[in-house]
Structure 1
């Protein structure tokens, strides 16, 4: 059964975990100045929170009814295609002098397009 309030609480907790791990890992890195594999592992620690958030989102999608899943499918499709077009086009633009697009910019693009896709698909099924 779909419980939106439970989803919001779980997602907020996952993002709080991510934030704590990010701050903690940064503090440890500054205090210890690690090198090599230790530095790499320390920088990957916040991914634990991201993986928990991904699990929460997937569980929420699995609990949706057919109409909600259809709306999400349309939104995710728009997000996937839009992100691919923007990042691919930006890659060509870099050859023409545009600044480098860091990988950290991809998720905000994808998330914004997903939100836009939900709004568009929701209106379509009213």
Structure 2
């Protein structure tokens, strides 16, 4: 494993663990709070570790060579366009009453992360000629 990948995991794993803990804690606290400013702070609390996840991802790309950067650019391009198109289609379906999903915006970032992982795997596989 390259040093950049080790640094990425060192930043990524604790941030994801903190996200999971804060997501659970914020939901518990939210039930007990009535004041709107406190509710806003508590509900946004899980976003803080996700900022560190994104930072780790950006730092990994910046620490990469040209080939790795190109592969990452292709993967993020495929992922963002795929999720963008799916979100666009979902909005039309929701508008027509055919997709009964509340809080659909909450699914965009996790979908982007998942699509990025799949696209990254596919781009690397294609590059190796498999």
After TM superposition, is the score higher than 0.5? yes
Deviation, structure 1 residue 123? 2.1
Deviation, structure 1 residue 3? 2.6
Could you tell me the TM-score, scaled by structure 2's length?
0.84
Within 5 Å, which residues of 2 pair with 1:1-126?
Answer: 2-30=3-31, 32-94=32-94, 95-100=96-101, 102-126=104-128
Could you tell me the TM-score, scaled by structure 1's length?
0.86
Shift in CA distance, 9/59, structure 1 to aligned 2, threshold 3 Å: same
* Unpaired runs of at least 5, structure 1: none
Runs of at least 4 residues off by over 3 Å: none
Root-mean-square deviation (CA, aligned residues, Å) is: 1.8
Q: Does the 8 Å contact 2:83/2:112 carry over to 1?
A: yes
Deviation, structure 1 residue 39? 0.6
* Unpaired runs of at least 5, structure 2: none
Deviation, structure 1 residue 2? 4.4
Q: Does the 8 Å contact 1:80/1:110 carry over to 2?
A: yes
Deviation, structure 1 residue 52? 1.2
